[in-house]
Structure 1
Amino acid sequence: MERRPMDLAAYTERSRTGPCFVCAFLSGDPDHRHATVYEDDDHVAFLDRYPTLPGKVLVAPKAHVEHVVAGLDEGAYTRLMLLVREVALAMESAFEVERTYLLSLGSQQGNSHLHWHVAALPPGVPYEQQQYHALMGENGVLVPTPGEVESLAERLRAAIRDRRRAG
């Protein structure tokens, strides 16, 4: 998969002044398409539009919640975190993984809709290119072809289905 520099200025502008990207995606806005890997009545998991690692997934509640802890009651928080875990475990069964990173990013100033990043670090990445370095758009983003996006999404959908059937 090709890695290209990210237009951080355009991304920041879109994040801070555009519509909520999760709500726009869920409403079907064609400018905010993502490949869905899981959806239920309350949550959605989809491939990141700007992946820094192959198959990077975002997991979000469908409701526009902005605070990772205070915005959810205990039951909603637990259900969301169980889904984050399920997606991470599916990712680990679908890809060769040295470590799985889980982060909740965003702020009131941009990308405010609560979402978790689930990213699989492939084996063999030099230590200096792991952790935050591997997740930062400043270090470039992967640009998968439409076929690669669909293949990644299907691998993750199948892994989630398999886990659900087994569990």
Structure 2
Amino acid sequence: MTATEYDNDNIFAKILREELPCHKVYEDDATLAFMDIMPRADGHTLVIPKNPSRNMLDAGQDDVNAVMATVQKIAKAQMTAFEADGITIQQFNEPAGGQVVFHLHMHVIPRKDGITMRPHTGNMAENDILATHAQALINALEKNG
């Protein structure tokens, strides 16, 4: 496989096919948003396009636009749901850029003043905590309309 080929068996492709579970917080025709299972802060959410793309370098413009619109919705809801002081948005491209899962995804992370992000250690959060955070975000999204 060359660096530019899309892997249909990546974890996010499996989530989109519902072969793997996730704590979904938002979905529309073009995007899916769900809780990161290794959150760097409470409420850490991932936003992905439904169409296959390895990363920002090969994604279609319509998919990029749809992802960014969903990122904005999630970020606004996180400000309320997690009483955030700010939002960190991260996106990585190719191994040299820090990408590990090769399906375009945006990290949307609520932040509080004076609290550093947890390290990305590979430690998974407890399922009930993720479910609680997902519900808080869903409630905020419904409130925001």
Both structures adopt the same fold (TM-score exceeding 0.5): yes
Q: Which residue of 2 aligns with 1:64?
A: 52
Distance 2:21 2:118 in 1: 21
| Aligned equivalent of 1:158 | 139
Matches within 5 A, 1:27-106: 27-29=17-19, 32-68=20-56, 70-73=58-61, 75-106=62-93
Structure 2 unaligned regions, length at least 5: 1-6
Tell me if structure 2 keeps the 8 A contact 1:96–1:123.
no
2:44 and 2:87 map into 1 onto residues whose CA distance is: 10
Amino acid at match of 1:41: D
Q: Which runs of 5+ in 1 are unaligned?
A: 1-16
The structural deviation recorded for 1:66 is: 1.7
TM-score by length of 1: 0.71
1:114 equivalenced with 2:104 (yes/no): yes
CA-atom RMSD in angstroms: 2.4
Q: Percent identity?
A: 24
Is this contact kept in 2: 1:106–1:113, CA < 8 A?
no
Match of 2:125, as an amino acid? Answer: V
Number of residues of Structure 1 aligned to a counterpart in Structure 2 = 136
- The equivalent of 2:125 in structure 1 is 143
Kindly indicate which of the two structures has a greater share of residues assigned to helix. Answer: 1
Residue type of the alignment partner of 2:81: A
* Structure number with larger C-alpha Rg: 1
SS at match of 1:137: coil
